[in-house]
Structure 1
């Protein structure tokens, strides 16, 4: 039984899209890593709680196939902040978040980092 579950999880990982804009924070990458840890012996891995494994697989498949998105369609294309999907995608990207962190630094922190980098170069 573990072999069939393993193959189902592998198929799910192949179907799950990777989001390159979220380096280090992508759900697809996280799921792939977790499957690799859970099935470290591949098809020969012993599963202690088969019901829990099946439940997790079913839930991940529902997310991957947009089950709830189709079951409960949205009435509007914007969010509570009036941002569109494209704007939200940009806002949660790793590059944008890094830029915002740089802007939010205070003057003292910027000076400290500048002096720290000078000391490291010596």
Structure 2
């Protein structure tokens, strides 16, 4: 399991927790999943092949393999917003603001 532990730590280093998306952040979710795997009474019972597949998929995502393999031709989005604007809209703070506006 130590091999899996080291591989998963490397993926977690590449995927920091985004505090602006508390409760909805992938980095946070990955850390919780890893804790649950470590908390199991019989850690050797975890299927090694499934963990390997998960690690490989997360590693490919964290290294942007597909973004490099299939580069985008246009930087437009369906909403017409830039990537930074989309990032700001998805913060917990902004979503809370929208909920307050809708409740008025």
Q: Same fold (TM over 0.5)?
A: yes
Offset of 1:40 from its aligned partner? 2.3
Runs in 1 of length 4+ with deviation above 4 angstroms? none
The equivalent residue for 1:113 is none
Partner deviation per Cα, 1:24-45 (whole Å, 9 max, x = no partner): 211101101111111226xx82
TM-score by length of 1: 0.77
Give the number of equivalent residue pairs: 103
- Give the 3-state SS of the residue equivalent to 1:46 in structure 2: helix
Q: Which residue of 1 aligns with 2:83?
A: 85
Higher relative contact order (CA 8 A, sep 6+): 2
Pair member with larger Rg: 1
2:73 to 75, 81, 97: 75
Question: What is the DSSP-based 3-state SS (H/G/I as helix, E as strand, rest coil) of the residue aligned with 2:39?
Answer: coil
The Cα shift of 1:80 comes to 1.0
Note the residue ranges of structure 1 that are not aligned, 5 or more in a row. 107-122
Structure 2 length normalisation: TM-score? 0.89
Q: CA deviation at 1:12?
A: 1.3
Find the aligned partners of 1:23 and 1:74 in 2 and give their Cα distance. Answer: 29
Q: Is the 8 A contact 1:13 1:32 kept in 2?
A: yes
Alignment RMSD (CA, Å): 1.6
What is the alpha-carbon distance in structure 2 between the residues aligned to residue 96 and residue 65 of structure 1? 28
Structure 2 residues not aligned, in runs of 5+: none
